[in-house]
Amino acid sequence: MNAPYLLPAMLALAVGTYALRWTGPALRHRLRLSARTIHLLDTGALILLAALVATSTMPTGSGELGLALPAGVGVGGLLAWRRAPLLLTVLAAATTTALLRLAGVH
């Protein structure tokens, strides 16, 4: 790809992402949010996570929804609900999906 604006755009996005991530810890003690705002932010994060789970179980490309992917997402969701560590949750979900596909369940 030979686009003259690709590298500057990537750098701008990288700087913007870093700046956005830096503002949270930098403003933690300077910005006070109301209890309602904190509740709304927590609810928004939960809705975003639920939407991510829902879209990750939908078929991509082939249009066929097999059993392996929803089973892996289900295992990950169950472990997240039980408050397992994130790394364990992701590895268990990926392992479940991979083992089911290896066994011929798609």
Torsion angle (degrees, nearest 10) of CA 78, 55, 91, 22: -100
- pLDDT given at position 13: 94
Sign of CA dihedral 59, 65, 69, 75: positive
Mean residue pLDDT across the chain: 86
Tell me which residues of the chain have a pLDDT lower than 70: 1-2, 59-64
Q: Which of 34, 105, 23, 99 is nearest to 66 (CA)?
A: 105
Q: Whole-structure pTM over 0.85, yes or no?
A: no
